[in-house]
Structure 1
Amino acid sequence: MRYDIRRLLGSGDRYADAGNPLRRRLRLISAGERREEARAFLDQFCRETGASASYHQKRWAEIRRELAAARFYRHTPEELAFGARIAWRNHGRCIGRLFWESLEVVDCRHLTEPDQIAHRMADHMRDAHGDGRVSAVISVFAPVEGDRLPAYIESPQITQYAGYGLTGAEVRGDRQNVEATRIALALGWQAPAETGRFDMLPFAIRDAQDQRSIHVLPRDAIREIAIEHPDVAELASLGLRWYAVPCVSNMILTIGGIDYPCAPFSGFYMATEIASRNFADKKRYDLLPQVARSIGLTPDDKADPFWKDTALTELNRAILHSYRKAQVTILDHHAASRQFMEFHHREQAKGRRVAADWRWIVPPQSSAATDVFHLRMTNFHPVPNYYTSRNAEGWRLMPFYGDAYRSRLAGNYDRIRRRWKLWKRMAW
């Protein structure tokens, strides 16, 4: 018997772009699952915003008709803003969710061309910097409509430093970005005549036809902080710096069964993200031995097994001091831990369970000294949410009904149904 692979995959258009990088990252959910997510989201929207029963009934009829006609429906601006905030509240890998209600949501669904997206991202970064008091901002561009894919930002972050491969295994700059730097150079980016460790990379956008282009942020949309230590002047001689605002641009926002692959969001840093990871990780800058020498330590595991601990602590002090001196918002990991505990208590007081991934919530520095280290956590991947790809965490996402009162029979049915969905979605 002969099989038509196009019929098995769906439409011919979908088969034609089956190798599309975005297509491979998107969640695969059935029409019934999409309808269930849409209904669950509408129920939550109406419940938490106080919408009337008549509005719920009318809106659900509209959504059903649109889903039946095109496997897609368009969110209202209010639904989009609510969904983006709830996705942040639900995201189990973020420690900074205390301020989820203050997220500024900018509806950019009408901007579909790469140049329009790049121009908006320059404005986004200017708005996020503000006067140094960094605000949480998300710009939401066009969603996936049925089989039609929109333009999206391919780079993991809008601001990243280049990494230049030198002789052997030596790298100048950020080791994580060696391949991204090679691609940018191949696409026509002109690196500085004298390359350095902190050369700002352009960000890449793929259009609806899967054509890649690179875009450079204007200088006034970037703010960088020179790193110095409050007590040890020698550390400043290392010439370290970092950008003020992180803007994550490669995560997919999913709301009510609709995916938004271009929804870059920005917030403020926790110091350990820069000091204990970006600067210290061997696959990034691997600066810990240099930092140790600059503060008078000998990086020798046998002579002093705690030199890394001391160097990490002092590097964190330097990051906090430098950002605060520049009057740019930043948080230490102890304060972040306390804020997460407050968020956890608030959510519990409102009868909501908190999805959390212990491996991501617990800071990499002084972990056992923070309250979150001792908190029992479960990440049940509720929607709305953000995900990087279906193979990472996207396949686990589904509605969560555990916050509402349900009989034991209904609860058991939910658990069995959830396990059945996960079994179907696994890559056997």
Structure 2
Amino acid sequence: MVEAATTFLAQFHDETTPAQTLEGRLDEVRREIEDTGTYVHTTDELTFGARVAWRNAARCIGRLYWNSLRVRDRRTVTEPAEVAAECVAHLRDAGRDGRIRSTLTVFAPDRPGDPGPRIHNEQLIRYAGHRTASGQVRGDGRYADFTDRVVAMGWQRPDPLGRFDVLPLVVSRGDAEPELHEIPADAVLEVPLHHPDHAWFADLRLRWHAVPAISNMPLEVGGITYPAAPFNGWYLGTEIGARNLVDADRYDLLPAIADRLGLDTSSERTLWRDRAMVEMVRAVQHSFDSAGVTMADHHTESQRFLTHVAREENAGRKCPADWSWIVPPVSGGLTPVYHRYYDEPDPATRPAYLTP
């Protein structure tokens, strides 16, 4: 841990202007590690570490904004009920009636003999997938297993079953038995979807939530792991319109959209999937814009990402990127991020949000 702390604190002092000298801070940290087996970050160190972890996130196209991440320091919070309450507060604080703000809430870290809390949900807001008697799934197919799990823990499925039923939070203290905590409806900002040209689209009664808060990726800074550190930016239209609502294991809506559009689905060569997907993305983007909810589009965000790459290079830093995640799932070849290579991600890079 001393080595990891030393590396991080040297970076912190190199990129910022703290009042304390690096030598003085390292002396404190070494003594603290020797006495307790760990150390405590200052608020400024934690904030810097969380922001740099975003800067290092090779799968994120929105890293231009890394230095504006708002950090909610909740390191004294350990109990599952309190963690869940702070997650709800995070959603409200980040949502801001549609003016989405990039936010991270960090809870107690792992300490020797005292593990921090865990959030078992992939994101704070996800929709249930209900298995029906016919073998189909009503709702989000990807979360059918997780839905079965929370039902086994005591969650009551809504009656009638919906396609957009918000799952409860599953929180534990370390390896203790997890607890269920409902998310109040007024903390979930959702956007009903409609199309700018096709009135029938509203009849499908589709919607999606506005704050994509990832909650199962531990934050590691200077050798310290914060296992519960939910964070959000804002959605890219293609995430919802070209993945969440159309992937075959999710809502699989392309056949229904193509049918309503009157497309020839008899052959893949008619490109009916492509045409239906573009209209789905148009509907998502139009709906969020009409509702005044922050959302990026893949063309603009691609240009901004290359601005970020140029800034990092000018600062003398590499900007690793996972090409398969950076290039959007719609019209990839029309975006500037498609036509170049990037530095390969290094799994050992820290600070980082760790893949579970």
TMscore range, shorter length: over 0.9
SS at match of 1:321: helix
Aligned-residue offset at 1:280: 1.0
Counterpart of 2:176?
210
Partner residue of 1:249 out of 206, 209, 215:
215
Aligned equivalents of 1:375, 1:125: Cα separation in 2: 36
Counterpart of 1:297?
263
Aligned-residue offset at 1:181: 1.0
Amino acid in the other structure paired with 1:334: H
Partner residue of 1:318 out of 274, 283, 287:
283
**Which runs of structure 2 are paired with 1:2-401 in the superposition (5 Å)?**
34-51=1-18, 55-167=21-133, 169-301=135-267, 304-377=269-342, 378-381=344-347, 382-389=349-356
- Please identify, of 62-71 and 179-188, the stretch whose mean Cα deviation from structure 2 is larger: 62-71
User: Structure 1 residues 360, 147: closer, same or farther in 2, change over 3 A?
Assistant: farther
SS at match of 1:204: strand
Aligned equivalents of 1:243, 1:281: Cα separation in 2: 17
SS at match of 1:236: helix
Q: CA RMSD in A?
A: 1.3
**Contact 1:229–1:236 (CA under 8 A) maintained in structure 2:** yes
Structure 1, unpaired ranges of 5+: 1-33, 390-428
Amino acid in the other structure paired with 1:131: D
SS at match of 2:299: helix
**Contact 1:234–1:295 (CA under 8 A) maintained in structure 2:** no
Aligned equivalents of 2:265, 2:167: Cα separation in 1: 32
- Structure 1 segments of 4+ aligned residues over 3 angstroms from their partners: none
Aligned equivalents of 2:125, 2:220: Cα separation in 1: 24
Aligned equivalents of 2:57, 2:329: Cα separation in 1: 19
Aligned-residue offset at 1:168: 5.0
Amino acid in the other structure paired with 1:38: A
Amino acid in the other structure paired with 2:206: L
**Contact 2:124–2:169 (CA under 8 A) maintained in structure 1:** yes
**Contact 1:83–1:384 (CA under 8 A) maintained in structure 2:** yes
Aligned-residue offset at 1:182: 1.1
Structure 2, unpaired ranges of 5+: none
Aligned-residue offset at 1:371: 0.9
Task: Report how many residues are paired.
Answer: 354
**Contact 2:77–2:83 (CA under 8 A) maintained in structure 1:** yes
**Contact 1:235–1:295 (CA under 8 A) maintained in structure 2:** no
Aligned equivalents of 1:171, 1:324: Cα separation in 2: 30
Aligned-residue offset at 1:118: 1.1
Aligned-residue offset at 1:69: 3.0
SS at match of 1:331: coil
Q: Which string of whole-angstrom CA distances, capped at 9 and with x for unpartnered residues, describes residues 104-123 of structure 1?
A: 00100011111111111111
**Which runs of structure 2 are paired with 1:400-411 in the superposition (5 Å)?**
none
Amino acid in the other structure paired with 1:317: R
Q: Quick one: percent identity of the two aligned structures?
A: 44
SS at match of 2:104: strand
Aligned equivalents of 1:44, 1:348: Cα separation in 2: 17
Amino acid in the other structure paired with 1:132: G
Aligned equivalents of 2:209, 2:81: Cα separation in 1: 23
TM-score (norm: length of structure 1): 0.80
Q: Which string of whole-angstrom CA distances, capped at 9 and with x for unpartnered residues, describes residues 376-410 of structure 1?
A: 11212421010123xxxxxxxxxxxxxxxxxxxxx
**Contact 1:323–1:329 (CA under 8 A) maintained in structure 2:** yes
Q: Which string of whole-angstrom CA distances, capped at 9 and with x for unpartnered residues, describes residues 37-90 of structure 1?
A: 2111100100111236x6211110111122233331111111001100010001
Aligned equivalents of 1:106, 1:116: Cα separation in 2: 14
**Contact 1:153–1:250 (CA under 8 A) maintained in structure 2:** yes
Q: Which has the larger radius of gyration?
A: 1
Q: Which string of whole-angstrom CA distances, capped at 9 and with x for unpartnered residues, describes residues 198-223 of structure 1?
A: 11111100123511111111122111
SS at match of 2:21: helix
Aligned equivalents of 1:85, 1:100: Cα separation in 2: 6
Amino acid in the other structure paired with 1:324: D
Q: Which string of whole-angstrom CA distances, capped at 9 and with x for unpartnered residues, describes residues 168-221 of structure 1?
A: 541111111111111221222222210011111111001235111111111221
Aligned equivalents of 2:26, 2:134: Cα separation in 1: 60
SS at match of 1:131: helix
**Contact 2:62–2:301 (CA under 8 A) maintained in structure 1:** yes
Aligned equivalents of 1:131, 1:63: Cα separation in 2: 41
Aligned equivalents of 1:180, 1:247: Cα separation in 2: 17
Aligned equivalents of 2:43, 2:35: Cα separation in 1: 21
- Please identify, of 255-264 and 113-122, the stretch whose mean Cα deviation from structure 2 is larger: 113-122
